[in-house]
């Protein structure tokens, strides 16, 4: 899980063009949206792409994504439990 | 009452000029826009999410809109009128490439030329009128004409030409407004007419 | 004063004004299966497609081997109708302009031909027509309009901005008349992109419905002929409507989403009312932007509430008829607003059943005839925060 979280942090930084952010800056339990990294609706769509591109997991409804993308930790848990 | 060009910036040949003073000179590099951003110390992380056209526009607008006397103008009375020939072509191509396997929503967002006016408006909280014209070449007459019409209701207009392709950035923004007590001693006044606009663009 | 003396339109609900009116009066949507656009999404989505192939559009325009792309042909057909309806045979008799809006330009052609072009078979003509301004240049040339020609590209509010610019040029005596509007064709690039943003509804859209899932794309073109008082008098022109007000503002919130309380929309509507010199209670009907997305419809409802307070006029989104025609939307909806005045009828917001939870506003959902309509407010809000509103009035 630790490995997955670390990898996810790097992938998120790359996918979302968070150029001035380092993996160590991201708290795995902190909210991704609103506060924390302050991501927006387009970033959420890019995370949906990331999930499909890197992990083969497809989210059909954007509103399902809200809980999955709460934090890096919840995202990692989703991937762990759904990965083929 | 006459209208004047109160401030102008140019990005050309990897240099950023403000009112003919060199602000930043970055050598030959693929990351010219990002390097210019760093040299200006802008502290605006959203910059890195933008496409090249929006980055160019935001960089050109910065020196003008943070100028002391311009910064204090009422934001709902500032209009933004930009133009180019290629619309968002460079980003269109980049998005088209992602269409093959994983289309990128954050790239698609920028496949319209007027998103750059939106980015400038968001950063500086400008809520006045805004337009984007597609013209085969830089058209000082069109910009002059439209700006004079807008100044009947707006207090000032940020105008210009933002053009980007694989090899070059060509950015020219200028701010048109009135001579007032507060800006009188601080800014050079250039009469707003197509000849002066063209001269500033081609210098 | 700026007078509308001609109108022309082509969209999924008709190839001209008369067919468009019939569809509206019969509550007959043009949204349905995609027949002509060859997209991978063809079987999964519906759209407001103009039901003619490229060849058929050329035939309708009376042309052969024109090399015009779909956007240009749609533009040409609607312009032709507008000019005819205004009784204009020779554009050179007065200072005449053509201001057209587009977002797609020649993309519908380019995306089909560029692979071939790269490999072995250059269709050179199409390269020149890719550029967004090409359609305006081609159509202006076709009709001999030379005094002022330009292209506006501000997403979904583009055609409204073209109309506004035209009005200003006439009011300032720079032009005597101007043909204003926009055109956009469906293309794979657009379909793909909106799908990526997850704002497309796979089924028929439901503007202002609590269970709305997104928009349906559409295509088409529409133009208005605006003329000055001097020309109207000199030529004894029949006045179709008056452009009483217009306003534009930037929402300054997000690249594509609208602010929750619709500040940009509010400012645009407010400005339009100020230009018209009306109180808000003079508006008899609002033709809303109403795309059917969760974001727009909430935001627009909030803005309408803030402007009109206790006296909300009847409103509807006719995108449930035409789909979202992007850069042409504001001009197609301008024609529909004018038809509303001419026929004293409010056209329904089709497919809306359940009121939105976050507002008390609910649109008109069935055809309302015999309703005195003197002033219509038409909204168009584009990506990039570009918000525009127009007010049309009975003469």
For residue C14, the SS3 value is: strand
CATH number, domain with residue C261: 3.40.47.10
The CA distance from C94 to C147, in Å, is 9
Tokens of B70: 């311009």
CATH number, domain with residue B108: 3.40.47.10
Domains in chain A: how many in total?
A: 1
Nearest C-alpha of chain A: how many angstroms from C200? 11
Q: Give the one of B102, B106, B109 whose C-beta lies nearest to A52's C-beta.
A: B102
Nearest C-alpha of chain B: how many angstroms from C343? 33
C227 and C343 housed in the same domain: no
Four-CA torsion C344, C348, C354, C355, nearest 10 degrees: -40
Instruction: Give the pairing type, strands C241-250 and C285-287.
Output: unpaired
Q: Give the one of C150, C155, C194 whose C-beta lies nearest to B142's C-beta.
A: C150
* Close Cβ partners of C115 (under 8 Å, ≥ 6 residues apart): none
Q: What is the DSSP track for C205-248?
A: --TT-TT---B-BB-EEEEEEEEEHHHHHHHTPPP-EEEEEEEE
pLDDT in tens, B60-82: 999 999 998 899 999 999 999 99
Closest C-chain CA to B92: C189
- C256 and chain A: CB distance < 8 Å anywhere? yes
The CA distance from C107 to C93, in Å, is 34
Domains in chain B: how many in total?
A: 1
Residue indicated by tokens 């559409």: C218
The CA distance from B70 to C321, in Å, is 46
**Nearest Cα to Cα of residue C209 among C288, C307, C265, C308:** C288
What's the average model confidence in pLDDT over A46-75?
Answer: 89
pLDDT at B180 over 80: no
C27 and C70 housed in the same domain: yes
- A38 and chain C: CB distance < 8 Å anywhere? no
| Helix or strand (DSSP H, E) at C7 | strand C2-11
In whole angstroms, how far apart are CA B58 and each of B26, B51, B182, C387? 17, 11, 26, 20
* Close Cβ partners of C183 (under 8 Å, ≥ 6 residues apart): C71, C72, C74, C75, C78, C100, C101, C102, C135, C220, C221, C327, C328
C254 is catalytic: no
- B142 and chain C: CB distance < 8 Å anywhere? yes
Domain containing C65 equals 2-235
What's the average model confidence in pLDDT over C318-324?
Answer: 98
C62 and C121 housed in the same domain: yes
What's the average model confidence in pLDDT over B156-184?
Answer: 89
Q: Which of C36, C109, C135, C156 is catalytic?
A: C156
- Provide the pLDDT confidence category of residue C272 given band limits of 50, 70 and 90: very high
Rg, chain C, Cα only: 19
C90 and C210 housed in the same domain: yes
B167 DSSP 8-state letter: S
Domain containing A69 equals 2-82
| Helix or strand (DSSP H, E) at C287 | strand C285-287
* Close Cβ partners of C85 (under 8 Å, ≥ 6 residues apart): C5, C6, C7, C8, C17, C225, C240
Domain boundary among C198, C214, C235: C235
pTM: 0.95
What's the average model confidence in pLDDT over C268-275?
Answer: 98
Domain containing B14 equals 4-202
The neighbouring-strand residues paired with C222 are: C9, C182
C151 and C194 housed in the same domain: yes
Q: What is the DSSP track for B82-126?
A: EEESSTTHHHHHHHHHHTTSS--HHHHTT-STTHHHHHHHHHHT-
- Number of A to C CB contacts under 8 A, please give it: 14
The answer to whether B116 and B191 are in contact (CB under 8 A) is no
What's the average model confidence in pLDDT over A11-15?
Answer: 94
What's the average model confidence in pLDDT over C262-288?
Answer: 97
Confidence at residue B187, expressed as pLDDT on a 0 to 100 scale = 64
Confidence at residue A35, expressed as pLDDT on a 0 to 100 scale = 75
Domain boundary among C184, C210, C235: C235
C229 and C192 housed in the same domain: yes
The CA distance from C70 to C49, in Å, is 12
Confidence at residue B203, expressed as pLDDT on a 0 to 100 scale = 86
Confidence at residue B151, expressed as pLDDT on a 0 to 100 scale = 96
What's the average model confidence in pLDDT over A39-55?
Answer: 93
Mean pLDDT of chain A: 89
Across C49-87, b (16+ Cβ under 10 Å) vs e yields: bbebebeebbebbeeeebebbbbbbbbbbbbbbbbebbe
Domain boundary among C235, C266, C296: C235
Confidence at residue B85, expressed as pLDDT on a 0 to 100 scale = 93
- A42 and chain C: CB distance < 8 Å anywhere? yes
Mean pLDDT of chain B: 93
Rg, chain B, Cα only: 17
C205 is catalytic: no
Confidence at residue C109, expressed as pLDDT on a 0 to 100 scale = 81
Residues A46, B104: C-beta atoms closer than 8 Å: yes
Q: Which of C36, C109, C142, C289 is catalytic?
A: C289
Across C261-278, b (16+ Cβ under 10 Å) vs e yields: ebbbbbbbbbbbbebbeb
Within 8 A of C299 by CB-CB distance, chain A residues are: none
Helix axis angle for B194-202 and B140-150, nearest 10°, is 130
C164 and C31 housed in the same domain: yes
The answer to whether C87 and C138 are in contact (CB under 8 A) is no
The CA distance from B14 to B6, in Å, is 24
**Nearest Cα to Cα of residue C80 among C145, C165, C150:** C145
Confidence at residue A20, expressed as pLDDT on a 0 to 100 scale = 86
| Helix or strand (DSSP H, E) at C322 | helix C319-322
- C277 and chain B: CB distance < 8 Å anywhere? no
In whole angstroms, how far apart are CA B192 and each of B151, B158, B200? 11, 12, 11
Residues in chain C, overall count: 395
The answer to whether C342 and C393 are in contact (CB under 8 A) is no
Closest A-chain CA to B106: A42
Domains in chain C: how many in total?
A: 2
CATH number, domain with residue A16: 1.10.1200.10
**Nearest Cα to Cα of residue B87 among C103, C196, C157:** C103
pLDDT in tens, C95-154: 999 999 999 888 888 888 777 777 766 666 667 778 888 899 999 999 999 999 999 999
Confidence at residue C234, expressed as pLDDT on a 0 to 100 scale = 96
Confidence at residue C112, expressed as pLDDT on a 0 to 100 scale = 80
Residues in chain B, overall count: 203
C156 is catalytic: yes
C172 and C258 housed in the same domain: no
Nearest C-alpha of chain B: how many angstroms from A50? 9
What ranges in C43-187 are assigned the alpha helix state H?
54-60, 70-85, 107-119, 124-130, 134-142, 158-171
Closest C-chain CA to A41: C257
The CA distance from B177 to C189, in Å, is 40
Tokens of B99: 């269409």
pLDDT at B181 over 90: no
The CA distance from C178 to C162, in Å, is 10
Mark which residues 142-201 of B lie under 8 Å from A by CB.
none
Residues C256, A42: C-beta atoms closer than 8 Å: yes
Confidence at residue B185, expressed as pLDDT on a 0 to 100 scale = 67
Confidence at residue A63, expressed as pLDDT on a 0 to 100 scale = 75
């Amino acid at each position: 899980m630790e490995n997955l979280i670390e990898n996810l942090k790097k992938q998120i930084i790359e996918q979302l063009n968070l150029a001035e952010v380092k993996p160590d800056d991201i708290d795995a339990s902190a909210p991704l949206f609103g506060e924390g990294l302050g991501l927006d609706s387009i970033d959420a769509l890019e995370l949906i792409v990331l999930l499909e591109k890197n992990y083969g997991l497809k989210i059909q409804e954007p509103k399902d994504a809200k809980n999955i993308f709460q934090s890096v930790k919840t995202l990692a848990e989703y991937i762990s439990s759904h990965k083929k | 009452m006459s209208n004047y060009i109160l401030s102008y910036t140019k990005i050309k040949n990897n240099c950023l000029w403000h009112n003919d003073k060199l602000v930043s000179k970055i050598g030959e590099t693929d990351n010219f826009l990002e390097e210019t951003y760093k040299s200006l110390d802008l502290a605006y992380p959203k910059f890195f999410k933008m496409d090249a056209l929006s980055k160019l526009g935001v960089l050109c607008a910065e020196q003008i809109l943070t100028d002391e006397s311009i910064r204090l103008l009422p934001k709902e009375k500032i209009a933004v009128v930009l133009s180019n020939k290629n619309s968002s072509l460079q980003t269109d191509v980049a998005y088209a490439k992602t269409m093959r396997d994983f289309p990128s929503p954050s790239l698609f967002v920028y496949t319209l030329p007027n998103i750059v006016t939106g980015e400038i408006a968001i950063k500086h909280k400008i809520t006045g009128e805004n337009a984007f014209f597609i013209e085969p070449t830089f058209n000082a007459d069109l910009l002059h004409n439209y700006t004079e019409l807008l100044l009947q209701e707006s207090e000032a207009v940020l105008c210009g030409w933002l053009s980007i392709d694989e090899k070059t950035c060509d950015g020219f923004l200028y701010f048109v407004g009135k001579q007032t007590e507060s800006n009188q001693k601080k800014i050079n006044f250039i009469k707003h007419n197509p000849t002066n606009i063209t001269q500033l663009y081609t210098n | 004063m700026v007078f509308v003396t001609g109108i022309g339109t082509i969209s999924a609900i008709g190839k001209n004004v008369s067919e468009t009116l019939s569809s509206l009066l019969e509550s007959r949507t043009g949204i349905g299966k995609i027949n002509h656009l060859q997209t991978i999404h063809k079987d999964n989505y519906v759209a407001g497609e103009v039901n003619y192939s490229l060849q058929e559009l050329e035939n309708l325009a009376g042309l052969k081997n024109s090399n015009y792309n779909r956007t240009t042909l749609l533009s040409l057909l609607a312009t032709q109708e507008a000019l005819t309806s205004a009784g204009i045979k020779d554009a050179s008799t007065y200072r005449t302009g053509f201001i057209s809006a587009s977002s797609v330009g020649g993309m519908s052609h380019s995306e089909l031909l560029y692979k071939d072009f790269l490999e072995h078979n250059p269709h050179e003509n199409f390269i020149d027509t890719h550029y967004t301004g090409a359609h305006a240049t081609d159509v202006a040339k076709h009709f001999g309009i030379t005094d002022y020609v330009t292209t506006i590209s501000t997403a979904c509010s583009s055609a409204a901005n073209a109309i506004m610019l035209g009005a200003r040029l006439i009011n300032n005596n720079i032009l005597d008349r101007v043909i204003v509007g926009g055109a956009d064709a469906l293309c794979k690039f657009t379909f793909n992109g909106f799908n990526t943003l997850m704002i497309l509804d796979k089924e028929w859209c439901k503007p202002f419905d609590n269970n709305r899932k997104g928009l349906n794309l559409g295509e088409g073109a529409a133009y208005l002929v605006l003329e000055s008082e001097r020309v109207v008098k000199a030529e004894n022109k029949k006045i179709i409507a008056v452009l009483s007000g217009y306003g534009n503002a930037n929402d300054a919130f997000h690249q594509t989403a609208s602010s929750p309380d619709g500040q940009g929309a509010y400012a645009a509507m407010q400005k339009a009312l100020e230009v018209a010199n009306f109180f808000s209670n003079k508006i008899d009907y609002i033709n809303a932007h109403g795309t059917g997305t969760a974001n727009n419809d909430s935001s627009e409802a909030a803005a309408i509430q803030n402007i009109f307070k206790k006296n909300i006029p009847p409103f509807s989104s006719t995108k449930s008829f035409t789909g979202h025609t992007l850069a042409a939307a504001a001009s197609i909806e301008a024609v529909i607003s004018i038809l509303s005045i001419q026929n004293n009828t409010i056209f329904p917001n089709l497919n809306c059943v359940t009121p939105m939870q976050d507002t008390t506003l609910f649109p008109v959902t069935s055809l309302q005839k015999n309703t005195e309509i003197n002033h219509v407010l038409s909204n168009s809000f584009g990506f990039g925060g570009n918000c525009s509103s127009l007010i049309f009035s009975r003469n």
